[in-house]
Structure 1
């Protein structure tokens, strides 16, 4: 699934213009096709991380993979934008279950001395999916339509279930005696939906009200977590654990800065440069290929060198690449775009696995599920912030109109502004990464079947 989910996400970015043409969807509605999936993942990541610690990480992973696979099939069968949005939400729930457990399972199996290497390989699988997604997605969209991108997930999901059942032995349970805080999870979900939906609706007044409601719900959630015996989110993980806090903040900043790059460049290449989906996919493949190559190396380095050094170096390259993208225009060459993507790929490939290694190594093994879900939560929150910023800029510069030649100038201004904001966020992430201090692994692997 580390390959399948990013394959689908990157493939969908290529398919968006065709989906928009078939359903007559506006630029903002097209953005919601990406955002709805991410929002659902964000709502369910943390609760399922806790459920994985209680009932078993492998069990939740299998259930999530099955749900994701079924939802992918349903996405390909719908005949309206509204139904596609609903099935994307279901798909996001399944993805949340997978994201909450995959890193925890790997961390449970391997000792701290090999954790960076294994996480690097896992991240490389993610980037491999992201790499082939734009190209194969472009080929499939042109040959068989946008539905083919969703259908490709079905055999991948079935294969994952089969391999997990037959090859992954044992189960890993971190907190078998805990109870699940359903009420707290519901409040958390309300907070996430209100905050992210409100942010996406700015600068409208209703957006500000939703953000206020989300902040109130978040405050209620935090207070509740501090008072109950078995919280969904262990607040003690944040008390005096500078590595855990700042590593998560660095991840949030990095994903918020980079998650909309493929979306914006896909639109730029197809609308401004008049490339076909397949041609745009060939250009976009440059970034994840570099990420795939450098992530295992960075993971191994983080087993020997402090994560803050490796990860901060990666974020510096990312900031450079984003700054270069602020110069995009109608006359920008494809070669320049590819160079920007190569720099971004180098930066993110160096950053991701060392930062994840630092997060997982800073907590006790009974909290691996929650820590893994926090890794995923920072990713989807960053993606939501990134896409939310894009939606705000589209609303300010383009409104509800479709992206036509009459709006190309406004589209370019909004795109350059988005990249400038992303570069600033990345610079702030570098500060958090450098300030985290030394990372220390707390415990070794959990034996298979541990209860």
Structure 2
């Protein structure tokens, strides 16, 4: 059946879809990362101290609220796009995203009230972002023939992943001028993209109207929310413990969340029109591709955070940069990572159209594993050219992997199921990033807790700080120092009370609050924790390479033999 819009769309419609969805993904991904760099300026603008214990939860949810919303909702919105129309759902997402951008730009008040306003509106914006992410890949797959999908998805993926790195630089530049510009940047992009989408985008594949699977949506959505909230709570201090993984609250959230996700699997097998058709996982290219995507996302997701901490908390201050200017320069010095990604993604996407995904996806993950192994061998005060080369290598590996992997996943499913397939792929990417943050921070905090307290107490005593004050400062949770480094913030003026600093010799007080005391103090414990975190990433990259190999060679569902068409294939071509 030819959709009624099909003939009127014209031969150049596919490029219109590519340009608009690329703009949409760019806006959504920039929005997801722009606060990572600009959050210190935002907190200063609303008069909130990020390192006060009562504000740690606000800090975490300011960063993760948007990602949690997109992670939870992309599968549901992918199915909604299959049922109601992918263009309609995508357009509505652009509109919600833009309205939320305007609301953020007009953020009222100051203090905790303004911070919670920021969190709530960013979660709403995440709803729009989820609708964009869930339907953009499906719209592209509908619009492009199989021999061009890798190129199209590669270009779109540049915006989706590359935008998250570009957001770091933009956030640093704009926050240096005025923190409100961080939110205003998405308003013109959103207005133009929304108007353009409503004017020109149409569905090329007719929607298949189905009843809403309310029980499936509820079990999946609530279950995933509980798990992601537990991860956010788990990396916060709990009593005398460095983290809260053993607290009754976190254990309960995890148990309930996992139980609901297990229940979701049973629900989907029983309902007539499931939210997600589990039969798609019988397609080897789809199941192995999504597994590889999840493993790669977990391995890659925490990388930004570790590099930001390394640069802002250690390397930049040791090289004369003030803590206030480190966020901007951290974004600039991370550009080789983006460059490697931008170089590899369209090339690997184009080549995978002709040679299949396997060599590029496998090779990309092996290159990524090598880069993580090499980064672990660097000293805290590294040589920047070598650091830049390893970042470029890491970005190159990710770029080689992600476009072929996305193309293989989308090619493997029937045309009518592309919305939910795109939603599942986006869920692996976004959930992997949130999981990665929890895992990376947990590994880092565990490593730092072994070394930081003793190192801090010894260093403070050497500067004539009274023993009780040095001991108290050293007993503060390692997560406080970690967040300070992440925010480009020198915490020594708060860890050592002003009254105590006033009693010290002027040289000692100046040393403690200067540019290099905290970085030198943090360097060895940080590198100890980094070995745990990057070893984990290296292992995940190798497992993603194995999953990509298992996914098989080039396979397109629409090119099945006639006698198998209409059924889910159980294996991809080797």
SS at match of 2:552: coil
What is the match of residue 74 of structure 2? 45
1:392-446, CA deviations, whole angstroms, 9 ceiling, x for partnerless residues? 24654413555232862444443443222111111111111111123411128xx
**For 2:259 and 2:50, how far apart are their aligned partners in 1?**
33
What is the match of residue 295 of structure 2? 253
- 2:73 touches 2:221 (CA, 8 Å); kept in 1? yes
* Structure 1 range deviating more: 317-326 or 61-70: 317-326
Matching residue within 112, 115, 124 for 2:158: 124
Structure 1, unaligned stretches of length 5 or more?
A: 445-451
Q: Is residue 2:274 matched to residue 1:231?
A: yes
**For 1:135 and 1:348, how far apart are their aligned partners in 2?**
19
Q: Note closer, same or farther for the CA distance 1:5–1:370 as it changes in structure 2 (3 Å cut).
A: same
Q: Is residue 2:45 matched to residue 1:23?
A: no
What is the match of residue 89 of structure 2? 60
Q: Is residue 2:479 matched to residue 1:399?
A: yes
Q: Note closer, same or farther for the CA distance 1:9–1:315 as it changes in structure 2 (3 Å cut).
A: same
Q: TM-score, normalised by structure 2?
A: 0.73
**For 1:242 and 1:128, how far apart are their aligned partners in 2?**
28
Q: Is residue 2:538 matched to residue 1:423?
A: yes
- 1:36 touches 1:89 (CA, 8 Å); kept in 2? yes
**For 1:72 and 1:334, how far apart are their aligned partners in 2?**
36
Larger radius of gyration: 2
1:19-76, CA deviations, whole angstroms, 9 ceiling, x for partnerless residues? 4555212367534322211111111111111110000101111111111122223334
Q: TM-score, normalised by structure 1?
A: 0.92
- 1:298 touches 1:349 (CA, 8 Å); kept in 2? yes
What is the match of residue 447 of structure 1? none
Aligned length, in residue pairs: 441
1:69-120, CA deviations, whole angstroms, 9 ceiling, x for partnerless residues? 2222333415332222222211211111111000000001111111111111
1:293 is displaced (CA, Å) by 2.1
**For 1:75 and 1:329, how far apart are their aligned partners in 2?**
40
What is the match of residue 143 of structure 1? 177
Q: Is residue 2:255 matched to residue 1:212?
A: yes
RMSD: 2.1
Pairing 1:13-412 to 2, within 5 Å after superposition: 13-20=36-43, 22-26=47-51, 29-76=58-105, 77-78=107-108, 79=110, 80-145=114-179, 147-170=180-203, 172-176=205-209, 178-200=210-232, 201=234, 203-205=245-247, 206-239=249-282, 241-272=283-314, 273-274=316-317, 275=321, 276=325, 277-393=327-443, 396=446, 397=449, 398-400=478-480, 403=484, 404=491, 405=518, 408-409=522-523, 410-412=525-527
1:263 is displaced (CA, Å) by 2.3
Q: Note closer, same or farther for the CA distance 1:296–1:225 as it changes in structure 2 (3 Å cut).
A: same
**For 2:177 and 2:328, how far apart are their aligned partners in 1?**
10
**For 2:553 and 2:29, how far apart are their aligned partners in 1?**
31
Structure 2, unaligned stretches of length 5 or more?
A: 1-23, 235-243, 450-477, 485-490, 492-517, 560-574
